[in-house]
Homo-oligomer: A and B are copies of this chain.
């Protein structure tokens, strides 16, 4: 068991932009006693089309920033950064760190009956093949098929979440996966749960959609318990419990944050991430 001070320290969560707030929302629900420091890399968003080297460099900078805030653990709430950077970084830091891929893979492995699982995500996440790796550690004979859906993020950001154009594009992206006879589909990008209805309609009722955010919060709880790092559950609502930092200030981010988060947070602060 760590000291009370350590246990009272915040959890650091980061993403390339706003999407990771869906994971924060889940952590707020499942771990109401925890303080959270969130960082959204809005000056360099998106990550999904960039290289492993660049994503790893950005992730290291963000972790250095979060550590200046005395975080006791870190959640990479971005599929692309989890896919490309987590493995290297995990060996470099002295506090517990986790991503969204392993929880998503575990949830899918627990959900599937026919062992045929689909994954949709950014180009980088799909190219990494990492969901398949983690799934096969649990279900060695699983058949896994992936498909990159690069237009989903811009469509969500344009507000076309329930729109015939999005349905048409989703139908194209999901066509091959439909033929794979999958019974489980991982929404492998934090923006995609906002397209859940469209995707569910296309895939049909025989396919369960898995959102890694829920399972991530559950595994975070397990990790904190194991490390003796859980905060007191009875922490009162207080100013400063949830802090949000970004690398660029945009109206869109603030609107999205206020829409998605159930609890209030202090004003969003901008920092120069290149300095870290």
Contacts and interface: CB of A to CB of B under 8 A. Distances in A.
A250 B157 contact: no
The 4 tightest CB contacts between A and B, nearest first, are: A154-B154, A54-B248, A274-B274, A43-B54
Contact of A150 (B42, B43, B157, B249): B157
Interface of A: 42-44, 49-51, 53-54, 150-151, 154-155, 157-158, 164-165, 168-169, 247-250, 252, 274
A106 B274 CA distance: 37
Contacts of A150: 154, 157-158
Contact of A165 (B157, B158, B168, B274): B168
A112 to B, nearest CB: 30
Given A150-B157, A150-B158, A165-B165, A250 B51 contact: yes
A50 B253 CA distance: 11
25 contacts: A42-B50, A43-B44, A43-B50, A43-B54, A44-B44, A49-B157, A50-B248, A51-B248, A51-B249, A51-B250, A53-B248, A54-B247, A54-B248, A150-B154, A150-B157, A150-B158, A151-B151, A151-B155, A151-B158, A154-B154, A164-B168, A165-B165, A165-B168, A165-B169, A274-B274
